[in-house]
Chains A and B, each alone.
Chain A
């Protein structure tokens, strides 16, 4: 137990003294996972919306694939992204293995199906007649989609939170494609793994607490935005 208290004390010290390394790692974690989440939002929301609104043969099969993708294990993504990005691999000419770009790519691949699946579900739960009504009032197709997105914004914000939560807490892919390089690709989760194996449990606990606080702060802001209007 005393080690947890030590860790909490350590976290407090690291935070109030603005330890430059910890601040750097925290800020970098936000940038990588934030960028990956933004990419996944663009791809996931548009594809999720398209599948939700469209009728085509094999639609159920596609939906089942998307839903399976929501459970995509980060280490599997990490392994395949590594193999593709190897210098002598199919995408080796990009030369981005062990860089932040590779981490963003891997995290975007993890987050996209999560965002897509939740977007799909939230668009589909809107009443079908709403679409007809919007079109009947003279909206173009694009305007209709925009209104539907606005209508489904509460669950869509949940998609943002789930996507971001999935990648900020992920360690398997980040350590494989980023390499946990000091001052370059080290994020909160990979630093925690390394400090644990170094036996610095107090620092590892401190980093975990910072990660939790950080995830809480982000979700607090998103929840605030989500819950602004009075409940229906």
Chain B
């Protein structure tokens, strides 16, 4: 009885056709926003069909993605944390860093807006008002690109925030942090793509947008093969080339239009970073 069941199970499990148990491929370390928005679900199959290679997408924060790259555990990065990326390049961990696309960050909060930041032009000014009113602000707190941007804005605002009672770190991804902010009627900094995807359940409004500091820029970086000979450099380079190719850029341009009425990302291949947002 039991024995027969076990042999049946064993046979099923070992003989059943399935994915290769240990396939090699290109390891892409990227931020959660590119996966959560669904953009990669469109781009990756395109790339795989074109090149026949297999992409392992590991969606983590930009900070962790770069840490993986710096250890040679990823082949190519798609990240949005420019200051940290420049350090990554300066340390010799990456060989080429190319501009892929941008969208923008927004400051969202409860419609009642207790800190009265609605329509404020400067993000730093809005942060100062939030601090002065003592309204709850939820931070990602996870070294992601969004968290790095938030830190830069706090620095520009010049007010203490770490350790303040109203400043709460979730340590979670963007979607979950937005959900926490919605529950607590708190303010937070979010990328527009994730906010739009979750908007209908949140009950949070866009209060500040359009400031130059809120630009959210994505680069693709190939990991340095001289430092990490085990990395799949050819595969990583092929993926980076694909991300700035005409085909991929055309997909980025229209992605999200059908669902949200406006694109989630703007393709920027070949442009200069300084020329964005002008």
Residues of A within 8 A of B (CB): 27-28, 30-31, 34-35, 38, 86-88, 92, 94-101, 104, 153, 157, 179-184, 194, 196-199, 201, 221, 225, 228
Among candidates A99, A181, A197, residue contacting B21 with C-beta atoms closer than 8 Å: A99
Task: Please tell me if B13 contacts chain A, counting CB pairs below 8 Å.
Answer: yes
Name the interface residues of B24-69: CB closer than 8 Å to any CB of A: 24, 27, 32, 35-36, 38, 41, 44, 54, 56-59
Cα of A74 to Cα of B198 in the assembled complex, Å:
30
Task: Please tell me if B234 contacts chain A, counting CB pairs below 8 Å.
Answer: no
Residues of B within 8 A of A (CB): 1-2, 5, 9-10, 12-14, 16, 18-24, 27, 32, 35-36, 38, 41, 44, 54, 56-59, 71-73, 172-176, 179, 197-198, 201, 228, 230-231
Can you give 25 contacting A-B residue pairs, CB < 8 Å? A27-B16, A28-B19, A31-B13, A34-B9, A38-B10, A86-B71, A86-B73, A88-B72, A88-B73, A92-B230, A97-B73, A99-B22, A99-B23, A101-B22, A182-B41, A182-B44, A194-B35, A196-B176, A198-B38, A198-B197, A199-B175, A221-B5, A225-B1, A225-B2, A225-B5
Q: Do the beta carbons of A181 and B73 come within 8 Å of each other?
A: no
Q: Do the beta carbons of A38 and B13 come within 8 Å of each other?
A: yes
Which 6 pairs, one residue from A and one from B, show the smallest C-beta to C-beta distance?
A199-B198, A197-B175, A101-B21, A101-B22, A99-B22, A179-B58
Residues of A within 8 A of B18 (CB): 28, 31, 100
Q: Do the beta carbons of A88 and B13 come within 8 Å of each other?
A: no
**A50 → chain B closest CB, angstroms:** 20
Tell me the number of A-to-B contacts counted with CB atoms below 8 Å.
92
Nearest B residue to A183, CB-CB: B19
Q: Do the beta carbons of B27 and A98 come within 8 Å of each other?
A: yes
Q: Do the beta carbons of A196 and B56 come within 8 Å of each other?
A: no
Residues of A within 8 A of B56 (CB): 98, 179, 181, 184
**B22 → chain A closest CB, angstroms:** 4
Known interface pairs A95-B24, A179-B56. Does A197 touch B36 (Cβ–Cβ under 8 Å)? yes
Nearest B residue to A150, CB-CB: B2
Q: Do the beta carbons of A196 and B1 come within 8 Å of each other?
A: no
**A25 → chain B closest CB, angstroms:** 12
**B234 → chain A closest CB, angstroms:** 15
Residues of A within 8 A of B54 (CB): 184
Nearest A residue to B4, CB-CB: A225
Residues of A within 8 A of B173 (CB): 197
Cα of A31 to Cα of B15 in the assembled complex, Å:
10
Residues of B within 8 A of A92 (CB): 230
Cα of A145 to Cα of B81 in the assembled complex, Å:
61
